Structure formats: C-alpha cells, structure tokens
Amino acid sequence: MRIIYKKFGIFKSSHHDRDFNLFLLAALFAGIGAGINASIFNNYLNDIFNLSEEIRGLLEVPREAPGFFILLILATLSFLGDVRIAMLGMAAAGLGMLGLGLLSPTFALMIIWMMMYSLGTHMIMPVTPSIGMTLSKQESFGSRLGTVSAFGLIGSIVAYVFIFLGFHYMQMSYQTAFITGTVFYVFAAFSIGFMKKSEPEVRKAKFVFRKRYTLFYVLSVISGARNQIFMTFAPWVLIKVFDVKPQMFAILGMVVALVSIGTRKMIGKLIDSKGERFVLTAEAFLLFVICLGYAFSDMLFTAKVAVVIIAACYVIDNSMSAVEMARSTYVRKIAVDVADVTPTLSTGVSLQHIASMVIPVFGGLLWAAAGYEAVFIAAAVIAFLNFILSRKIVIT
C-alpha cells in the first residue's frame, strides 16, 4: 500500500489521514467487485439464460431504472449522510452480486438481483466525489478525486487478472466469480463503515430547466442514447458474433483500465487548454468512426481481422468515459447561478437514463430485424448529430 501511495503522490499528505485512507481502500475493493461484474455479466446472460437480442435490449429498462430514480432515492436517504449512503450502496451492490450468483434460478429472479446491484452502484457514484471533496482541501480537490479514481482503476485491473486466470486456467464458475465480487463489496462497506460519519445533509429532489441549458439537456439525451447502444450491444456483438469469452473481456478490461489512466489526465488538460467544444466535438467524431468500425468491419475484412478491429473500438470507446467531465465543466461555466450546477447535472443524468431505458429496446428490435450492423449505423447517425450539436457550444 505504501508503494501505491508513493506512486500517486499522496503518501506524505495522507499518511495520517485515516478517513481518506479508508476511503481509498473502499475504492480499491469496490473496483474489484465492479471489475468482476463488468467482465462476466454479459457472458453470464448469454450462457445461463441464452437471451435473444430483443430481450437483451428490453433488459436495460429494469437495469437502468435505479439510475433514473436515483435523485429521489438520494433525497429520501439524505438523513443518513453521504458516508452511510455509500456504505449502504456497497452493501446493496454486494447483495445484488450474491443474488446473481446463488439466488437466480429463474430469469425473473435474476432481474431483481440485477436491479439490486444497479441500485447499489448508482447510490455509490454521486456520493463518491462528495465524500472525496469533504476529505480534501479546496486546492487539492482534483488531485484527491483523481487518486480515488486511480485506486478504483487498480481494483478493476486486479479483478480482470482474477477473471482471466480463473476462467482460462481454473474453470471458474460464474457463481464463484459473483461470490468473490460480493466479498469485496462487503470489504468496501466495512472500510466505509469505519470512517467518521458525515453530518446528514437534506437534499431536495430538485430538477432545473432553463432555456440557457437547453443544449446541455439535448447533449445529455444524445450521450445517454449513444452510451447505452455501446454498453448494451458492443459486448453482445463480441459474444454472439465472435464468441468472445469472459477471459478475453478481462484482457480488454485491463487494457481499458490502463489506457484510461492516461486518457483521463489528457482529457482534463485538453478541457483546460482547448475548451469543451473541442473535446466534445473530437469525441463525437471519434465515436462516429468507431460506429462505422462496428458496422462494417465484418463485411470488409476476415473474421480474425474484424474481431481485432471491433475489440479496438471497444477499448477506445470505454476509455473515453472521462469526456463526461467536459459536459460538467460546460454547465459550470454557463450557469446563471452556482446553485444551478448540481441540480442541472442531476437533471442531465435523469434525461440520460430515459434514453438509456428506451434506446436499447429499439436497438434489440432493430438487430433482430436487420442485423447488428443496422444498430451501429443508427449509432453513427446519433454520433454525427452529436458532432453537429457539439459545434454549437459557446461559453459566454
């Protein structure tokens, strides 16, 4: 642990910072649990339940529903304080993974446990930066949150190595993998539990709609639609068309995590130096190319070459999640009132989840009717629209 602290430049400043060290430990453990789930979940759905493309698309409705309602959920639980909410989220995610591994004899029960896991992760995400900043001084917000993120990525890499070794060499079962993920989420919950509890903060379930923020709202919907197409159908293409196994997803996950360490810092610098319009426009153009890669690789190349191209597209897309920072800083810079920022971002998240629940349903139907290529051609159209709208960003 001491070596890791030195690596990320925080050993001296946080050696005696008990709560922040516990928070880093929780991020590490939660990263392992999340990495295990990310590596195996789609293969689990395919191998255990043999889902069709239509059902896979429909499954995103219950899976994303907790994200849509998270603003109301957090407002209801605000009396607990952020630390207790994070601990409860870790426990819920662990319970969801336990249910997926041991308590899902039917598809209907699996959906319940999947929603439990989704609820837990959606509870953790919004309070993580809040806790991190509470444990930091204002001048070190960025570096401390970056350190928390880095520990999560390290946890993910550990998980990917575990899944690769387990499935490739030890014939590991999905049950064993899910139980292991549960154990690490429990460790994360205990780590959070030993922290000093934050004072409860009353959150109002507040949505903000101003004409000035219209472009942000539209970009949020388009981003949610595009993200969900990739999240749902990109791994499904690799599984259904190219028969990619969990151990290969573990390798891809490791590559994504390692690349993301560099891209997060690079994207942050580009936002500061080039601005939000440049970053979001570049993202949209790159995503347009990636969509075409998914849609036409199998038509233009041999299967071996096509799967490499599509795997590369998978890695690049998953390494670009940090671009979301540009949408957040855009809102902060155009905000009429600083008090608008958090509720406006929350409104954007809710709009994203509307798209996240609706788009996969149509994507699954489109795949069944015209093939997976049609899904990614539609995604390319969305990416092109995103490009046009991103060019309209003006900071005033």
Q: How confident is the model at residue 330 (pLDDT cuts 50, 70, 90)?
A: confident
Residue 15 has pLDDT above 80, yes or no: no
Q: How many CA atoms lie within 13 A of 352 on its CB side?
A: 21
**Predicted confidence band of residue 200 (pLDDT cuts 50, 70, 90):** low
Sequence spans of domains, the chain: 1-205, 206-396
Residues 6+ apart with CB under 8 A from 80: 88, 200
Q: What string of DSSP letters covers 143-189? A: HHHHHHHHHHHHHHHHHHHHHHHHHHHS---HHHHHHHHHHHHHHHH
Q: Would you state the pLDDT for residue 138?
A: 59
pLDDT above 80 for 260: yes
**CB-based contact 205:71 (threshold 8 Å):** yes
**Mean pLDDT across 156-179:** 96
Does pLDDT of 304 surpass 70? Answer: yes
- For residue 78, pLDDT over 90 is answered with no
Q: 24-60, pLDDT tens digit by residue?
A: 999 999 999 999 999 999 999 999 999 999 999 999 9
Give dist(CA 144, CA 134) in Å, integer.
10
pLDDT digits (tens, 9 = 90+) for 222-238: 988 988 899 999 999 99
Q: What is the pTM of this model?
A: 0.87
Residue type present at position 207: F
Q: Do domains 1-205 and 206-396 have the same CATH topology?
A: yes
Does the pLDDT of residue 347 top 90, yes or no?
A: no
Q: Quickly state the pLDDT bin for 1 (edges 50, 70, 90).
A: very low
Dump pLDDT digits (tens) for 110-124: 999 999 999 999 999
Distance between CA atoms of residues 251 and 147, nearest Å: 23
Does residue 5 register a pLDDT over 60? no
| CATH code of the domain occupying 1-205 | 1.20.1250.20
Q: How far is CA 298 from CA 301, 325, 373, in A?
A: 6, 33, 9
**Rounded-to-integer distance, Cα 219 and Cα 301, Å:** 34
Q: Cα–Cα distances in Å, from 47 out to 109, 246, 300, 313?
A: 16, 11, 29, 24
Q: Which CATH number is 206-396 given?
A: 1.20.1250.20
